[in-house]
Amino acid sequence: MSASTALGRGDLPDAWDSGDAAGIDPEHDRRVEELKPAGAGVAAFYDRAARGIAGAPDLAELKERHTRLLGRERGIVTGRLAGLPELSPEERRQSGRALNLIKRWLTELEAARRSALEREQESRSAQGLDVTLPGRKPWIGHRHVLAQIQEELLDLFHGLGYSVYVSPEVESDDYNFGKLNFPPDHPARDAHDTYWVDGGLLLRTHTSPGWVRAMEERQPPLRLVFPGRVFRAEQVDASHMDQFHQVDGLFVDRDVSMADLKATLNTFARSIYGRAVRTRLVPVYFPFVEPGAQLDVACVICDGSGRVRDARCPVCKGGGWIELLGAGMVHPNVFRAVGYDPEAVTGFAFGMGLERIAMMRWGIPEIRLFLENDLRFLNQF
Ligand SMILES: [Zn+2]
């Protein structure tokens, strides 16, 4: 073999020798012998190249070694083949034969080694175990923001002597509307507002049916809170969902007054928005209370001024107040419906939406975020 096509063991790294070429090619020793007439260097080169292919530890390294030997641009064997035309016809015949044998055999070895490595990789992933991967930290979740605020509210009312009463999400018309003094033609009973279920049942539109159930089961005094999910046939947008969460409260005893209601609601508002928060009760109509009211708190964003940096406050829309919840003295007709004597007992009730309270407190602009399961949102709480 002439200078331009000469090959030797030294063209390749010593470390390649550790591969077991005979292990993947039973013909290995015979092939090395067959190359010896072309020169001892050529045979030694092939021996080391074949060991290098057989010993490639992974697919990436195999590709690297294959490129070094047979790559189109810089492969050693490829380069020597390209030099053949410069040789005399006799040299060209002998070197050409050896180089082409080397190319063919190394190509076979590479294919054999590659499929062996691929099989190993498949069986590792089939067992689901790759001990070389870094460990994964166990993933610890936390309670949803609404569950957190519900817990906080129940805790607060527990401190005021209230117990929790849980009632069904599927209700009868009678419990959801009739016994709560809704007139038969009240618009809330319309199919546009309420999800009706077969058999005259419906998905409760508020947690207030719980009052009726509790009062039918128990005698006064009662001091209860009613947490749960409620449903309305709403067009979903940034501030309306077709399901949300409420907490109702009910206090029934002798001589319960509006002053008791006011004190309870102020305690609640201060615990949520801080001691300094200002509140007001505004008369509002609800069928199940008389008189009915809504509790407003001074806007926490503009401190009740209605203006932020010389512009209208976006949260209270310039009004300076935010509606927090509905409340009132329990209507005598509700007491009559559950068998209480409205001359003997009085009571107050209130109801609030958890989403609304959370949105006000943290400035959350979009009610749909609560149900979207987007961790970028949930992880903030
Ligand atoms: Zn404001």
Highest mean pLDDT among 20-29, 89-98, 210-219, 228-237: 210-219
Residue of 116 and 132 predicted with greater confidence: 116
What does the pLDDT read at residue 127? Answer: 72
* CA 370 – ligand 1 centroid, Å: 23
Contacts of 87 (CB under 8 A, 6+ apart): 2, 4, 5, 95
Which amino acid would we find at residue 379? N
pLDDT band at 276 (very low <50, low <70, confident <90, very high): confident
Q: What is the edge-to-edge ordering of all strands in the sheet holding 163-164? A: 163-164, 222-231, 243-253, 346-353, 321-330, 289-298, 279-283
**Whether residue 248 is found in the same domain as residue 99:** no
**Whether residue 189 is found in the same domain as residue 252:** yes
**Whether residue 79 is found in the same domain as residue 178:** no
Domain assignment of residue 36, yes or no: yes
Contacts of 216 (CB under 8 A, 6+ apart): 338, 339
The tokens for 325 are 């919840």
* CA 322 – ligand 1 centroid, Å: 8
pLDDT band at 4 (very low <50, low <70, confident <90, very high): low
pLDDT band at 125 (very low <50, low <70, confident <90, very high): confident
Q: Above 80 in pLDDT, residue 315?
A: no
**Whether residue 224 is found in the same domain as residue 309:** yes
* CA 308 – ligand 1 centroid, Å: 7
**Whether residue 55 is found in the same domain as residue 204:** no
**Whether residue 154 is found in the same domain as residue 298:** yes
What does the pLDDT read at residue 191? Answer: 67
* CA 353 – ligand 1 centroid, Å: 19
* CA 57 – ligand 1 centroid, Å: 67
Q: Above 80 in pLDDT, residue 3?
A: no
Q: Above 70 in pLDDT, residue 5?
A: no
* CA 360 – ligand 1 centroid, Å: 11
What does the pLDDT read at residue 193? Answer: 84
* CA 275 – ligand 1 centroid, Å: 18
What does the pLDDT read at residue 186? Answer: 81
Domain assignment of residue 313, yes or no: yes
350: which strand partners? Answer: 249, 327
pLDDT band at 134 (very low <50, low <70, confident <90, very high): confident
* CA 298 – ligand 1 centroid, Å: 8
| Overall number of domains in the chain | 2
* CA 192 – ligand 1 centroid, Å: 32
Average pLDDT over residues 354-375: 86
Q: Above 80 in pLDDT, residue 2?
A: no
* CA 355 – ligand 1 centroid, Å: 18
**Whether residue 174 is found in the same domain as residue 118:** no
* CA 244 – ligand 1 centroid, Å: 24
* CA 271 – ligand 1 centroid, Å: 20
Lowest mean pLDDT among 116-120, 123-127, 264-268: 123-127
Task: Please state, for a pLDDT cut of 70, what percent of the chain lies above it.
Answer: 98
Domain assignment of residue 167, yes or no: yes
Residue 222's H or E segment, with its range, is strand 222-231
State the chain's mean pLDDT as an integer. 90
Lowest mean pLDDT among 48-62, 179-193, 242-256, 292-306: 179-193
* CA 300 – ligand 1 centroid, Å: 6
* CA 305 – ligand 1 centroid, Å: 7
Q: Above 80 in pLDDT, residue 141?
A: yes
Closest CA to 211 of 91, 32, 348: 348
Average pLDDT over residues 43-68: 94
Domain assignment of residue 7, yes or no: yes
Q: Above 70 in pLDDT, residue 176?
A: yes
Residue finishing a domain among 77, 94, 126:
126
* CA 328 – ligand 1 centroid, Å: 25
Domain assignment of residue 137, yes or no: no
* CA 313 – ligand 1 centroid, Å: 5
Q: How do residues 69-79 score in pLDDT, each as one tens digit?
A: 999 988 999 99
Residue finishing a domain among 76, 98, 126:
126
**Whether residue 242 is found in the same domain as residue 176:** yes
Q: Assign residue 56 a region: left if phi > 0, alpha if psi is -120 to 50, beta otherwise?
A: beta
* CA 297 – ligand 1 centroid, Å: 10
Domain assignment of residue 66, yes or no: yes
Domain assignment of residue 32, yes or no: yes
Average pLDDT over residues 335-346: 95
Average pLDDT over residues 222-227: 96
Domain assignment of residue 258, yes or no: yes
**Whether residue 366 is found in the same domain as residue 272:** yes
* CA 309 – ligand 1 centroid, Å: 11
What does the pLDDT read at residue 55? Answer: 93
User: For residues 157 and 249, is the Cβ–Cβ distance under 8 A?
Assistant: yes
Residue finishing a domain among 126, 157, 180:
126
* CA 164 – ligand 1 centroid, Å: 33
Which residue range(s) make up the domain with 80?
Answer: 3-126
Rg (CA), the chain: 41
Which amino acid would we find at residue 223? R
**Whether residue 112 is found in the same domain as residue 234:** no
**Whether residue 182 is found in the same domain as residue 90:** no
Which amino acid would we find at residue 52? G
C-alpha distances (whole Å) from 245 to each of 37, 120, 214, 227, 250 are: 89, 53, 19, 7, 17
What does the pLDDT read at residue 249? Answer: 96
Q: Above 60 in pLDDT, residue 301?
A: yes
* CA 314 – ligand 1 centroid, Å: 7
* CA 359 – ligand 1 centroid, Å: 14
**Whether residue 267 is found in the same domain as residue 354:** yes
Neighbours of 14 (CB within 10 A): 9
326: which strand partners? Answer: 294, 351
* CA 251 – ligand 1 centroid, Å: 32
* CA 25 – ligand 1 centroid, Å: 82
